[in-house]
Every structure is written in structure tokens, then in C-alpha cells.
Amino acid sequence: MTAAGPPSTVLVFSHLPAVRAQVRSAVGRRPAPDLGRIEWVECSTGDEVIARIDEGGIDVAVLDGEAQPTGGMGICRQLKYEIEDCPAVCILLGRRDDRWLATWALADATIERPLDPIAAAETVAQLLRDRARGVPVLR
């Protein structure tokens, strides 16, 4: 436990290792001074995401909306309908115009590509703060 708070677990999903690395690099190990360190969990398939979230302990999931063969938006919608205490979900968008799809998927937030490290860190930090305060995620 750090002085700022307990560590958080953030899942990042993409079929591309480079995209997962970009998200981890953009958000960093500690996205804000008031938060503890992030422990990253990487998933490369939709089945891995579902299984890992079913295990529990995930605070925020960052899902690649353009992952293949199963995209993050479909996974997000499934999670929101099937998991009782679903973690906050952020969709990584390839195009700004796809925000409406993220809304359909019941995503709590979005991050656009190319990744802006400041925006990415702020988005994940706010989702972690909300989760810690018990703010309900979208359902």
C-alpha cells in the first residue's frame, strides 16, 4: 500500500501486443498523485477478458474497440449485462465517430487513438476514483 492509496488492478485488452503496450505506457504505473500504483493485467482474447473479470479483483478494464476477432465493444456490452459488480470499462476508439457505439456498449468512458497520455491517464484515474468511492458503473 502506498501513501496515496492501495494499488488498483487495470485490465487492458487488445489482440495486438503493441496496442496493450501503448495503453500501459500512456496511463503509466500511477496515473494521478492521489492514487496508488496500477497492477496491469493483459489479455489478448475476449475469452481471457471474460475469464479474468469473472475471477474478480479488476477495478477498470480498457478494451480495444477494434480488437479482432472479438471487439471490445461487444465484450463490454456482454460484461455489463452478465457481471453483477462489473468493473468500470473504458473503450479504446479508433475513430471519434465511434463514440455512439461505445454508448451502445454501455462503456463508462472512451479514449481515442492516437493516445494522448494526459487524457488517457486522466480518464483511467477518474474511473479508479469513482470505483473507490463506490460510484455505480453504467448498466
pLDDT at 5: 79
Query: Looking at residue 87, what DSSP letter applies?
Result: P
The percent of residues above 70 in pLDDT, for the chain, comes to 95
Rounded to the nearest 5 degrees, what angle is found at the Cα of 134, between the Cα atoms of 128 and 137?
A: 75
Average pLDDT, the chain: 93
Q: Which helix (H) or strand (E) holds 75?
A: helix 72-82
pLDDT at 139: 43
Determine the length of the chain. 139
Is residue 1 scored above 80 in pLDDT? no
Burial of 118 from C-beta contacts in 10 A (0-12 / 13-18 / 19+):
exposed
Angstrom distances, CA of residue 13 to CA of 2, 33, 36, 75, 127: 26, 25, 21, 10, 17
Q: What 3-state class would DSSP assign to 48?
A: helix
* pTM reported for the whole predicted model: 0.93
Angstrom distance (rounded) from CA 136 to CA 102:
18
Angstrom distance (rounded) from CA 8 to CA 89:
14
More confident residue, 96 or 89: 89
Q: Judge contact between 54 and 87, C-beta under 8 A.
A: no
| Beta-carbon contacts of residue 118 (< 8 Å; ≥ 6 apart) | none
